[in-house]
Amino acid sequence: MLFCEFCGLIKKNKRYSVNEVIIMNKKEEAERIKEAYKKREKDIISPETTGDAVKKLNRYSFFNPAYLFMIQRMEWDFLDILKEYNINEVSDKKILDIGCGIGAMLRNLIKYGAKPGNLYGIDLLSDRIELAKKLNPNIDFRCEDCSNLSFEDGSFDIIMQFTVFTSILDDEMKNSIAKEMLRLLKPGGVIVWYDFHKDNPNNKDVKGVREKEIYKLFNGCDIYLKKVTLAPPITRFVAPLSFSLAYLLEKMKFLNTHYIGIIRKK
């Protein structure tokens, strides 16, 4: 198979070039991601939602102490790492969110002082983008493939990705998205990375992205990473009992499941 990928894939009596193989793989991966998210949403959000599905749905409610703790801690870590890089103001920043979903993180940025007209969100799922537009009509949302975006070079001061790369299993697509993010970054701009570095044994549609892989994806860049986020299963058990205990446990880095980081072009 490796020989075929380098010399051209023969399929149904047709020979494909390496570039054509890469494009086909990206399309297949994009469809796989769409199906994975559709299945997940179908499992937890439907008129017939009952039993374990109700528990999964409630898991993502702000009235659930565990989810509230995770979101508040993520916001803290996000603002804290921006401050570490002397980004104390976002009102003048042009910001792109890769894999924005329904725009939750971009809405937070407005709360932090960003101007809606400077905010852009990209997602592969059209239904999420449609809902995002209804919720945030002043933000520019687009349904596009993140590996081939329509923006001009050097368009953004900050580009964010929150748990996007763990949803991608195809290495070539990961590389393409990383290259796009760097292409779109202004001189002096930063990429904010937040994603799992641990695998989820209960979800085969995701794969943790470890430090070595991040350095490979953004080869030649200045990269700063730190471990954050208490392992969700522990958070779900501890946070309803005590936020303080969950906070203390999160300080134990071997219990962290995510990296938050800043990536800059040299």
Quick one: pLDDT at residue 6? 43
Supply the mean pLDDT for the chain.
Answer: 85
pLDDT bracket for residue 59 (50, 70, 90): confident
pLDDT of residue 20 exceeding 80, the answer is: no
**154 found inside a domain:** yes
Could you tell me the pTM of the whole model? 0.82
pLDDT bracket for residue 17 (50, 70, 90): low
pLDDT bracket for residue 34 (50, 70, 90): low
Quick one: pLDDT at residue 23? 53
Q: Which residues span the domain enclosing 217?
A: 64-264
CB atoms within 10 A of CB 137: 9
pLDDT of residue 15 exceeding 70, the answer is: no
**201 found inside a domain:** yes
**Average pLDDT of 4-29?**
53
The secondary structure of 5-31 as a DSSP string is HHH-EEETTEEE-HHHHHHHHHHHHHH
**243 found inside a domain:** yes
**2 found inside a domain:** no
CATH of the domain at 79: 3.40.50.150
Distances (CA, A) of 105 to 111, 165, 189: 10, 16, 18
Alpha carbons 159 and 182: distance in angstroms, whole number: 9
**244 found inside a domain:** yes
Give SS3 for 195: strand
**185 found inside a domain:** yes
Quick one: pLDDT at residue 92? 95
What does the block give as tokens for 222? Answer: 């200045």
Contact (Cβ atoms closer than 8 angstroms) between residue 181 and residue 191: yes
Q: Which residues contact 208 (CB under 8 A, 6 or more apart)?
A: 166, 196, 197, 198, 199, 200
Quick one: pLDDT at residue 62? 87
**Average pLDDT of 114-126?**
95
Q: Can you list the alpha helix ranges (DSSP code H) found in 45-118?
A: 52-59, 65-84, 104-112
**245 found inside a domain:** yes
* Bridging pattern class, strands 95-98 and 185-196: unpaired
pLDDT bracket for residue 49 (50, 70, 90): very low
To which residue do tokens 């880095």 refer?
Answer: 253
Domain count, the chain: 1
**141 found inside a domain:** yes
